[in-house]
Structure 1
C-alpha cells in the first residue's frame, strides 16, 4: 500500500460556523506522482483527533499559506504582518509535534518550514521588506513555475543528497522567513543575500523544510521532484518498519 501522506490546508471563514478549506492541486499531484497517497487534512485543534491523525499517517506535508501568529515565537505583531489563521496554527503546531514524537517524516514548504522552525524554538522575520536588508526580491512577480533566483545548498546535508546540485534555481513567494534558527536544526540552503532557504533536523529520520515552492516546479525540474520522491520514500520506509514492529509484537504475545 502507498504511504499515507497528510497535507495541511488553507482556510478562510465564510461566516458563522462556515469555514472554507482549500489546497493547490500541485501538492497532491506531486505526492501521488512520487508514490504517495495524499490525504487533505481536516481543520481541528482537538487534541485527541490530532493524535489519531498522527497514528494513522505515514508522513506530514506542511503546505504554504498565511502568516504565523508571532506569539508562537515570542513576539507581538509588527507592521507588515499579514493574515493569521489561529485554527490552522493550533492544528499544525500540535500535529508537527505529534508526528515528530513518532519519528514520522515531515516535509515543510514555505509556511511549512516556518512552522517547523517556530515549533522547535526558532524565530521568524514577520515581514522581510521591513526587517531584512537583503538585495533579492523574495516575493517574485512572475508565474509560479518560473525560477527567480538560486539557493546555495550546503554539502553533506540531507537536502544536498536529495537534489544533487549545489546551486539550485527556485521560485520565491514569501515575505516571512526563518530568522533565528531553532536549536537542533541546521540551515541547509541560503539565498545569495544570506537568507535561510532550507532547514533540517539531523537527529530525525526526515524533518526537512524549504522556503520555495517545489510543488509548482516538480513537473519540469528533476531536482524539485526528488524532494517529493525522497519524502514519500521515507514515509514508505517508516510505514514498513512500523508493520514489522507490529508483527514482532504479535509474535511475542
Structure 2
C-alpha cells in the first residue's frame, strides 16, 4: 500500500492553501498526500500522526520570533500565528513518534525552531548574504550549495557541490540540538539540516518541489522521503 503523508498548508485568511507541486511530487514518488487543516489541537494532532506515515512541512511566510526568544526586527515579514502554533505541535508529535519529516524552506526554519534552534530574521541585514530570493523562474537553479559528503544530502548529490533555487530571507542561526548542518551556501547560510538518529528527518532551504523535474537531487529527496514513509507501514 502507498504511504499516506500529511502536508502542511499556508494559512490565508479563511483558506488553507497548498501549491500543487508538493502533492504532485509525493504522488510521483509513490505516496498519497493529505492536506492538514487548521484548528487541530493536541488530541487531533496525535490522531493524525497515528493515521499517517510521514509529515511534509511546506514553504510559506515568516515565523514569530517570540518562539526563539527574540523581538521582531523591522525586516520581519508576514507571520501566521495559527500556522506557527499548529506546525510546532505537528513537529513535536511526529518527532516523538519517530516518523519521517521532510521540511522545505519555511519548513526547515520551523523544524529548527520547534526543536530548540533559532533563526536570522533577515539574512540581508544580519549577514553578508548572497542573493537568496531569485528573480528568475522557480525551476531555475540560481546558486551553489556545498554538502557534507557523509550526509544524506551529500550521498544524494554524489558531489560536494550542486546548485539550488532560492526564495527566502530568513535562515537558521543556531541549529537545534540533535540536528546537524549538512549543506551551506558559499556565504555560510545553512541550506540543509538532518537528524542523524532518525530514519528520515531532513530540512532543505530551497524548493525541490519546483526543481524535481529538472534536478536529480530534488527528485531523489522526494523519492527517499516517500520510501522512508513506506517503511512506517511495516
TM-score w.r.t. length of structure 2:
0.98
Gaps of 5+ in 1: 14-18, 241-253
The answer to whether the aligner puts 1:3 opposite 2:3 as a matched pair is yes
The question of whether the paired residues in 2 share the 8 Å contact of 1:206 and 1:234 is answered with: yes
Q: Residue in 2 aligned with 1:146?
A: 140
Q: Which of these residues, 165, 171, 188, is aligned with residue 165 of structure 2?
A: 171
C-alpha offsets along residues 141-163 of structure 1, whole Å, 9 cap, x if unaligned? 11101110010010111222223
Note if contact 2:149-2:159 (Cα within 8 Å) is conserved in structure 1: no
Secondary structure of the 1:224 match is: helix
Does the CA contact (< 8 Å) of 2:99 and 2:229 recur in 1? yes
Within the candidate set 233, 238, 246, 2:232 is matched to 238
Aligned to 2:99: 104
SS of the residue 2:232 aligns to: helix
Structure 1 residue aligned with 2:79, among 84, 108, 122? 84
* Alpha-carbon distance in structure 2 between the residues aligned to 1:122 and 1:181: 5
Aligned residues: 234
Deviations 1:194-249 (A, max 9, x none): 11110011111111000000000001112210000000000001222xxxxxxxxx
Aligned counterparts of 1:32 and 1:166: Cα–Cα separation in 2: 29
The residue aligned with 2:176 is 182
Unaligned runs of 5+ in 2: none
Deviations 1:43-81 (A, max 9, x none): 124111111111111010000001001111111111100
Matched, 1:61 2:56: yes
CA contact (8 A) 1:44 1:50 kept: no
Structure 1 partner of 2:123:
128
- Which structure: larger Rg? 1
Deviates more, 1:157-166 or 1:90-99: 157-166
Could you tell me which residue of structure 2 aligns to residue 12 of structure 1? 12
Separation of aligned partners in 2, 1:149 and 1:179: 20
